[in-house]
A and B are shown apart, each in its own frame.
Chain A
Amino acid sequence: MTNEKTAETQVKEKGKIKIDLHRMEMPKQAPCERKHNFDEVATGYTLEMALQESRRCIQCKKRNCVEGCPVNIQIPDFISRMQKNDLAGAARVLKKYTSLPGICGRVCPQESQCESKCTLNKKGVPVAIGRLERFLADWERSQGGAAIPDLTPSTGKKVAVVGSGPSGLTVAADLALLGHQVDMFEALHVAGGVLMYGIPEFRLPKAIVQGEVEYVKKLGVNLKLDYVIGINASMDELLESYDAIFLGTGAGLPWFLDIPGENFNNVYSANEFLTRCNLMKAYRYPEYATPIKMGRRVAVVGGGNVAMDSARCAVRLGAEKVMVIYRRSRAEMPARLEEVENAEEEGVEFHFLVAPSAMIGDGRKNVCGMECIRMELGEPDASGRRRPVPVKGSEYVVETDTVVVSLGTSPNPLIASTTPDLQVSKKGTIVVDENGKSSKARVWAGGDIISGGATVISAMGEARIAATAIHKYLVNIDQ
């Protein structure tokens, strides 16, 4: 490794810090190429790139970036080791705070978390913390997988973790590291939750997710697939065999538009479209047995990250035209800017201030068009965003043969409906205190099941808090 760049990177002289304003870009597949494959879009830093980027960190005394991280990764500590070329040491630091760095490094919205707090962000060029995290995770994987840290002697306490998505995996890993016996239950045939069924391969390769699931299993966590809590065992039955339960069952129930014709063929929920494509690998049909029926003109309704994922899957599945239909304007879109830009580069069209009012059938109950109405922005609503108001008489028809409805989801009611003494909100979320403790004795919860729908990293942050509280409870049982 040569160090020619040292001169223009961080050098401390006479108490003054020179700042390198050149934020290292991450290589990506060109849009014209990636439109035709499901391989990862961003290909990751090379070793040289990563080391050079790491040297931009000025190791601030006040660690604002750590405050911006929902799981409080000691960011300057792992970066300082990278600056000294100590990749193994850097990876060890990282793993102390997250068991899922390959996932976080890819799907966290760093621009609104750690990187937004970075001192260099005052100049608009924060250290690329997320890319460095991703690099370290991938490097560790290329070295034959993560080293298993020394495990705490067994406490003899048993914890059931329900759901194996971001929050479940975090709680399971944290508690296993503390010496508790953890059994993790998953209703689907593969672990990972939304990381497997929701986020597409080209944004988060499934091999990365399974690699991190394997790491959690190596910590001693037992994984039980095809097992539905609320059906195969009730909460009370679980409590007979376990000292504590963590519920991380997510928000899986899709919302629909509730407009005429919504059940026509080729009208999908984003969950179904993405599950067929990602979890069941319909893009490799017939090698994989699950088909996905999609036409040539795809309309995706919604403006979140899931809508972007759906639109970009449709591009890769061979759609000629993919449109995102959103009822507010670009500024109110909840999707990450980076994902919107990626979608635009891949040829996805955005139709702002438009809302569907009815699906039009072809006479054989297949969708062949969508009646839409133009909107304008009125007064702010409860979310603080300006409320879209229909413009009278502005109806028109969007020609489409496949519609993906991506409006959001609410919690699956299965556990709540089979556990009468578990307090839930009107929205169906489990009510918890600041430590993630539910109204039911010995039961904690975190992730989308308490928030109703947020990010992977916020779920992990809530899981971290719950794991700490569960540990505190478990060590105090005998006293």
Chain B
Amino acid sequence: MFEVVDHEKLTHKVHRLRISAPHVARKAQPGQFVILILDEKGERVPFTISDWDRQAGTVDFVFLEVGRTTERMARLQKGDTLAHFVGPLGKPAEIDKFGHVVCVVSGYGLAGMVPIIKRLKEKGNRITTIMQAADNESLYNQEALKQFSDHLLIGVGGAGGGPATALKPLEDMLKNLDHEPMDRITAMASICLMRFIAEATRNMGIKTTVHMAPVMVDGTGMCGACRLAHADGTQFACVHGPEFDAHKIKAWDTLMARRCTYADDSIMQPGFKCDNCSQW
């Protein structure tokens, strides 16, 4: 059993949980994820690790209330327990001295990207972070992002937003490359936003990586639910990723459809509106 050490509500639908799991905290790296099961009849659900404390033995992650399991998680209180908690799974994010790195985040990425940005900063990179949210109420974690970024841009869109809101600052920057070169773009955002970014930079010679969050079952390479078509052959997000070179991913439309396979069952709540991409 894994104890809930802390539960903080960040926006009306976004929560942060802190779980006591020393063996996970001991090995956690930026960009990795955990899988949890609420009780013996629960499903296995993956979440990107947003922070950890090796000494205290705790692991943090942020989740959006969008389905049956996450709605139940929203009611968890300090002292409650999770039946199962396994991780850190997946490969750590690629961290190196790249130069000027642009980080694009939306949804859970506002939290999940923080450890990556922090480590990139420590490596001496210059960081521009672009935050995307549907409205001001949905923004969270600004302070943490600001702390490790040299420059923080915020894209807030109206109903549904549309990728254009976050893409606008990025597109402006791409037009201005002569004055302000860009060495790398990395995104942890809705799948449609990541797709737009991939297309925007495809022919510009800027290395672009995306952090995928597909449907998973076991999360250890066994089931292939999280597979994607890749220039190097079929890849599994759980063991080959979750970070991928955005320009090596093929068939984004199929990926987007796969992301929503179980949307009606466990991802989306009734009334959820699809704005071209149901993950928006």
Report which A residues bind B (CB closer than 8 A): 187-189, 197, 225-228, 231-233, 252-254, 256, 258, 262-266, 268-269, 271-272, 275-276, 280-281, 286-291, 293, 364-366, 412-414
Q: Report 5 cross-chain contacts, Cβ distance below 8 Å, ordered by A residue.
A: A189-B37, A232-B23, A256-B227, A258-B234, A290-B217
Q: Which residues of chain A are near B68, meaning CB under 8 Å?
A: 286, 289
Starting from the known contacts A365-B253, A366-B257, 19 additional A-B residue pairs (CB-CB under 8 Å) come to: A187-B220, A188-B220, A189-B86, A231-B87, A252-B221, A252-B222, A258-B234, A263-B251, A263-B254, A263-B255, A264-B257, A265-B261, A266-B261, A268-B224, A269-B225, A271-B223, A288-B43, A365-B254, A412-B239
Asked whether B85 is an interface residue with its Cβ less than 8 Å from the other chain, the reply is yes
User: For window 218-265 of chain B, which residues contact chain A by CB distance below 8 Å?
Assistant: 218, 220-225, 227-229, 233-234, 239, 251, 253-258, 261-262, 265
Asked whether B127 is an interface residue with its Cβ less than 8 Å from the other chain, the reply is no
* 8 closest A-B pairs by CB: A365-B257, A272-B223, A252-B222, A269-B224, A289-B43, A226-B86, A189-B84, A291-B265
Asked whether B42 is an interface residue with its Cβ less than 8 Å from the other chain, the reply is yes
Q: Smallest CB–CB gap between A251 and chain B, Å?
A: 10
Q: Is A365 in contact with B258, judged by CB distance below 8 angstroms?
A: yes
Report which B residues bind A (CB closer than 8 A): 23-24, 26-27, 37-38, 41-44, 68-69, 83-89, 217-218, 220-225, 227-229, 233-234, 239, 251, 253-258, 261-262, 265-266
Return the chain A residue nearest B225 by Cβ. A272
Q: Is B224 in contact with A256, judged by CB distance below 8 angstroms?
A: yes
**Among A252, A272, A287, A364, contact of B41 (Cβ-Cβ < 8 Å):** A287
Q: Which residues of chain A are near B261, meaning CB under 8 Å?
A: 265-266, 293
Q: Is B217 in contact with A232, judged by CB distance below 8 angstroms?
A: no
Q: Is A293 in contact with B262, judged by CB distance below 8 angstroms?
A: yes
Q: Smallest CB–CB gap between B1 and chain A, Å?
A: 10
- Whether A254 touches B224, Cβ cut-off 8 Å, given contacts A189-B83, A293-B261, is yes
- Whether A275 touches B223, Cβ cut-off 8 Å, given contacts A228-B89, A265-B258, A289-B42, is yes
Taken together as a complex, chains A and B put the C-alpha atoms of A365 and B37 apart, in Å, by 29
Q: Smallest CB–CB gap between B67 and chain A, Å?
A: 10
**Among B38, B85, B220, B257, contact of A412 (Cβ-Cβ < 8 Å):** B220
Say what secondary structure dominates the interface of chain A.
Answer: loop
Taken together as a complex, chains A and B put the C-alpha atoms of A289 and B262 apart, in Å, by 12
Q: Which residues of chain B are near A263, meaning CB under 8 Å?
A: 227-229, 234, 251, 254-255, 258
- Whether A232 touches B24, Cβ cut-off 8 Å, given contacts A275-B218, A287-B41, A289-B68, is yes
Q: Is B257 in contact with A280, judged by CB distance below 8 angstroms?
A: no
Q: Is A289 in contact with B86, judged by CB distance below 8 angstroms?
A: no
Taken together as a complex, chains A and B put the C-alpha atoms of A10 and B37 apart, in Å, by 55
**Among B86, B223, B227, B262, contact of A228 (Cβ-Cβ < 8 Å):** B86
- Whether A225 touches B84, Cβ cut-off 8 Å, given contacts A264-B257, A289-B43, A365-B254, is yes
Q: Smallest CB–CB gap between A116 and chain B, Å?
A: 33
Q: Smallest CB–CB gap between B227 and chain A, Å?
A: 6
Return the chain B residue nearest A250 by Cβ. B222
Q: Which residues of chain A are near B258, meaning CB under 8 Å?
A: 263, 265, 365
Taken together as a complex, chains A and B put the C-alpha atoms of A268 and B224 apart, in Å, by 8
Taken together as a complex, chains A and B put the C-alpha atoms of A413 and B221 apart, in Å, by 9
Q: Which residues of chain B are near A268, meaning CB under 8 Å?
A: 224-225
Q: Which residues of chain A are near B87, meaning CB under 8 Å?
A: 231
Return the chain B residue nearest A198 by Cβ. B222
Q: Smallest CB–CB gap between B111 and chain A, Å?
A: 22
Q: Is A272 in contact with B217, judged by CB distance below 8 angstroms?
A: yes
Q: Smallest CB–CB gap between B48 and chain A, Å?
A: 16
Q: Smallest CB–CB gap between B165 and chain A, Å?
A: 26
Q: Which residues of chain A are near B265, meaning CB under 8 Å?
A: 291, 293
Q: Which residues of chain A are near B24, meaning CB under 8 Å?
A: 232
Taken together as a complex, chains A and B put the C-alpha atoms of A414 and B24 apart, in Å, by 17
Taken together as a complex, chains A and B put the C-alpha atoms of A281 and B37 apart, in Å, by 14
**Among A266, A272, A289, contact of B266 (Cβ-Cβ < 8 Å):** A289
